[in-house]
């Protein structure tokens, strides 16, 4: 009895890429930070410290976004008035990631 089995090659998934984006560590001047995020380095650090308890993730994954990254994504969105896709593209994140981060930051009381 012959068995007709269709051969299906294994699914090859793309490797996920999470950029090591940290604008506070880049060589942005305060003026460049203000143009992009509407706040200077010290104020961004202050806001990050205020929200740290709510935004810190309880994981050791290297792909988890830092508090500073989350704050910077939200500030870029608030300051630019742009679409999620545009903010994600300019910062190297997917639109769904940007959406979740903005929701999380906005909901902090």
Band (pLDDT 50/70/90 cuts) for residue 74 is very high
Which tokens sit at 84?
Answer: 């999620």
SS3 state at 99:
helix
Residue length of the chain: 109
Exposure string (b/e) for 26-36, b if CB count within 10 Å is 16 or more? eeeeeeebbeb
As a whole number, the mean pLDDT across the chain is 81
Average pLDDT value for residue range 75-92: 83
What are the tens digits of pLDDT across the range 27-65?
778 888 888 889 999 999 999 999 999 998 777 776 788
Domain locations along the chain: 30-51+66-106
**pLDDT classification of 17: cutoffs 50, 70, 90:** very low
């Amino acid at each position: 009895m012959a068995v007709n089995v269709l051969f299906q090659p294994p699914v090859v998934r793309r490797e996920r890429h999470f950029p090591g984006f940290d604008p506070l560590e880049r060589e942005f001047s305060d003026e460049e930070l203000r143009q992009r995020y509407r706040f200077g380095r010290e104020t961004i650090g202050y806001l990050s410290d205020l929200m740290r308890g709510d935004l810190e993730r309880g994981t050791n994954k290297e792909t988890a976004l830092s508090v500073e990254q989350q704050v910077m994504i939200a500030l870029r969105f608030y300051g630019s008035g742009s679409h999620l896709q545009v903010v994600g593209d300019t910062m190297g994140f997917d639109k769904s990631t940007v959406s979740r981060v903005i929701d999380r930051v906005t909901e902090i009381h």
